[in-house]
Amino acid sequence: MKKKIGLLSVIAMFSMTGYSLFYSNAEAREQKPKAPTTSTYSFEKEKKKAESDVPKADPDSWELTLVGPKNKIEEEINEDQLTTLSDASHQVDNRIASDYEAFSKAASDAGFPLVIISAYRSVAAQKEVFDTNVYGLMNQGMSQEEATAKTKETITEPGFSEHHTGLALDVVDQDWYNNYGNQVLDATYGDQPGAKWIAENAPKYGFIVRYLEDREDITGITYEPWHIRYVGKKNAEYIAKHDLTLEEYLKLLSSN
């Protein structure tokens, strides 16, 4: 996410199929990069290749909601619109639950059973973690301004996390979860067979790997092979086919 991090002051623990999942791991990994990464990717070139078959999609539709470092969530999802997944620990927007469960089953059938690290997180929950970290740094002698700036380096500000939408999940395969080193959410996961399966197959079920490698100058978030986002099947397949970010896809839709 924004950059490599240390430990958060507060760790909330979730359980799934006998495993302890650390809320702070998913929370703190959403980080802005120190500096934009130079990329040879060209949206204009990709746009020319993509224009002929762009879907007739509404850029303002619910599944294409844009939330990120430069886009604060406009309206938080209602609690009655959330549903708990079969792991009994994590919630998502009820409109995407069946597609996620189908994706999860396909992953298990392929030999890559998924472990959810994080799904829906409320703005209030994020604020609690953010504020706790600020107060902890202030107790170490920092001013409030210094502590807030330092906290922003490792924790997404409340209201700017895609997890607030109920459309995003952080997932890894069980083999990686059982054997990871210091960080379960690490960019090296992208080299693993499970991560490659996720990237290749998620679009069939309406999900994309949201934060691609070398696109942090566009998304504001560093490479996250574990972070999947629901955008709908037609949108997801098109985005994956043309190697686009959500930002680029929305720009393409708006230009047509």
pLDDT of residue 21: 39
Q: pLDDT tens digits for 55-78?
A: 989 999 999 999 999 999 999 999
Angle of helix 246-255 versus helix 43-50 axis, rounded to 10: 60
pLDDT computed for residue 256 by the predictor: 78
Q: Are 28 and 8 in contact (CB under 8 A)?
A: yes
Assigned token pair, 78: 């209602």
Please give, one letter per residue, the 3-state secondary structure of 130-197: HHHHHHHHHHCCCCHHHHHHHHHCCCCCCCCCHHHHCCEEEEEEHHHHHHCCCCCCCHHHHHCHHHHH
Cα–Cα distance for residue pair 200/197, rounded to 1 Å: 5
Could you please report the per-residue DSSP string of 80-123? GGEEE-TTSS-EEETTTHHHHHHHHHHHHHTT--EEEEE----H
- Cβ-Cβ contacts under 8 Å for 97 (sequence gap 6 or more): 83, 85
Q: In this predicted structure, what is the pLDDT of residue 30?
A: 54
Amino acid letter, residue 240: A
Amino acid identity of residue 187, one-letter, is A
Residues in CB range of 246: below 8 A, 6 or more apart: 64, 66, 208, 210, 219, 229, 231, 239
Strand partners, 20: 15
Residue 3 confidence (pLDDT): 37
**pLDDT tens string for the chain (256 positions)?**
443 333 333 333 333 333 333 444 455 455 444 444 455 566 666 556 656 688 989 999 999 999 999 999 999 999 999 999 999 999 999 999 999 999 999 999 999 999 999 999 999 999 998 999 999 999 999 999 999 999 887 788 999 999 999 999 999 999 999 999 788 999 999 999 999 999 999 999 999 999 999 999 999 888 999 999 999 999 999 999 999 999 999 999 998 7
Ranges of each domain in the chain: 13-37+50-255
Q: What is the CATH number of domain 13-37+50-255?
A: 3.30.1380.10
Question: What is the per-residue pLDDT across 76-123, written as a single tens digit (0 to 9) for each?
Answer: 999 999 999 999 999 999 999 999 999 999 999 999 999 999 999 999
124, two tokens = 């209030």
If we measure between CA atoms, which residue out of 146, 135, 96 comes closest to residue 119? Answer: 96
What the block records as the tokens of 133 is 């970290």
Smallest CA-to-CA distance from 233 within 103, 124, 115 is with 103
Give percent of the chain with pLDDT exceeding 70.
80
Round to whole Å and give the CA distance between 231 and 51. Answer: 19
